[in-house]
Amino acid sequence: MNDITVVPVPARVEPAPGVTFVLPADGVIRSDSASAGAFLAGALRPATGFALPVVADHPAPAIELRLVASGADEGYELDVDAGSVVVRARTTAGLFYGVQTLLQLLPSSVDAATVQDGPWTVPGGRIRDEPRFAYRGAMLDVSRHFFGPEVVLRFVDELSRYKINFLHLHLSDDQGWRIAIESWPELARSGGATQVGGGAGGCFSQAEYARIVAHAAERHVTIVPEIDLPGHTNAALHAYPQLNADGTAPPAYTGVDVGFSTLTVGREATYTFVQDVLREVAALTPGPYLHIGGDEAQSTSTEDYLAFMDRVQPMVTALGKTVVGWHQIGPARREPGRIAQYWGHKPEPDEDLLAAIAQGDRILLSPADRVYLDMKYTVDTPIGLDWAGHITTRTAYDWDPAALLPGDADVAGVEAPLWTETVATAADIHLLTFPRLPAIAEVAWSPQAARDWAAFRVRLAAHGPRWTLRGVGFHPDPEVF
Ligand code: TNX
């Protein structure tokens, strides 16, 4: 295990020099979790061509997934000797992460979709691993450009390989509404019919959203839906004239400006609308969080903003969910457990962030100059923005989440947002996401003391061939490859 290329790097690795496990063609997987066993077998069968039956009981299994009584929430132990591989974890999430590590210990050809030559070797030794942060997230903006369920499912597959456990979907913005709401059907029909540049847009049906939630859950990824309020609401205002103070719907918006739209804080219709939307979205979402945006409400007065949030945040709590908002929500009276998502990029402390910290919010770190996946890598990147600077893979990797905020901040974790003003295709998503997202996954998962750029870039480079086998394009960052 000396030269293993696992990303994120495990907390502890003890190599057993000279010891190698070779997966036998007639190997059996014994698993205490049917889902974890099936997932592992499903990942191994295409490239190995082996049958790899999954059973609950076997005297000499090649690979064993064992649920045990102790261990961290998402932690696991992986023991590899000449005769067997054993993963031990207290939770099925832990088993899943052990399985992801095991897949990365096998030759990269294991990621091929068709049968390849072995031998299917795993270096001997022991790994003991657990995450640094409980929240390890990515965000996809499906509003500026719409991406259908298949693209999102593939995105989830890739995230989960790097032990990312939350996918935040930015489901509404000025340019498009992306989740069908049965009580307000024009949101999907008319609010969803546009996107940046004037394309046809689209909108998830509730069944499609539920399919994304279920597919993600199988990979231990929790969906965090965002309905951005009270700004970023032109698509809703366009769909429903009665949400507008003068009763007139604004035209659809296909540009990339921000800050021009707002719900009308003094109108009752606004709260009927918000309540209905949050109720339906909460009912479709098994995860604990409902993200209500709150950013860039530049057309809402401060007084109106606070009044709006005073009314809307308790709705989220009453629906049994925990409020998440962009850090501008900081001055608004908090609900229990609230998370404020920090997306600043300036060295000086942000007043809204400080208000959130002072109220005791948990802080989710999305510093725009480190983890905004929509920033260009360099001036030559063909798509992307640059308002927070250029972000090379090294910039995304080389920082410590504990050192970013004042010492009393309660850091929930790290999330990398991909805004899609300039992102129109799955290939565009891949270009901006790889290799930066795996770098950020390591920031969120691995202990700071186990991380170091020089070693990381070597491990990361080994993933290029795997992405190619899986049909994932990536930026060939010259500092890595
Ligand atoms: C800021 S980050 C925004 C988004 C844009 C993004 C582009 C945040 C909460 N708001 O509306 O898409 O910049 O990088």
Give pLDDT tens digits along the chain (481 positions).
989 999 999 999 999 999 999 999 999 999 999 999 999 999 999 999 999 999 999 999 999 999 999 999 999 999 999 999 999 999 999 999 999 999 999 999 999 999 999 999 999 999 999 999 999 999 999 999 999 999 999 999 999 999 999 999 999 999 999 999 999 999 999 999 999 999 999 999 999 999 999 999 999 999 999 999 999 999 999 999 999 999 999 999 999 999 999 999 999 999 999 999 999 999 999 999 999 999 998 999 999 999 999 999 999 999 999 999 999 999 999 999 999 999 999 877 799 999 999 999 999 999 999 999 999 999 999 999 999 999 999 999 999 999 999 888 999 999 999 999 999 999 999 999 999 999 999 999 999 999 999 999 999 999 999 999 999 999 999 999 9
Residue 411 Cα to ligand 1 middle (Å): 21
**Closest Cα to atom 2, ligand 1: which residue?**
343
Report the atom number in ligand 1 closest to the C-alpha of 326: 9
**Closest Cα to atom 13, ligand 1: which residue?**
419
- Ligand 1 pocket: which residues have CB below 6 Å? 258, 295-296, 326, 343, 372, 374, 385, 419, 421
Please say if 296 is a catalytic residue. Answer: yes
Predicted pLDDT at 218: 98
Q: Identify the active-site residue in 182, 296, 351, 415.
A: 296
Question: Can you give the pTM of this predicted structure?
Answer: 0.98
| Most informative mutation of 168, 258, 381 for ligand 1 (most atoms within 8 A of CB) | 258
Predicted pLDDT at 348: 76
**Closest Cα to atom 11, ligand 1: which residue?**
258
Q: Are 342 and 365 in contact (CB under 8 A)?
A: yes
Predicted pLDDT at 347: 77
Predicted pLDDT at 212: 98
| Most informative mutation of 174, 296, 353 for ligand 1 (most atoms within 8 A of CB) | 296
225 upstream amide cis, omega within 30 of 0? no
Identify the structural domains of the chain with CATH numbers, from first to last.
Answer: 12-129 (3.30.379.10), 135-449 (3.20.20.80)
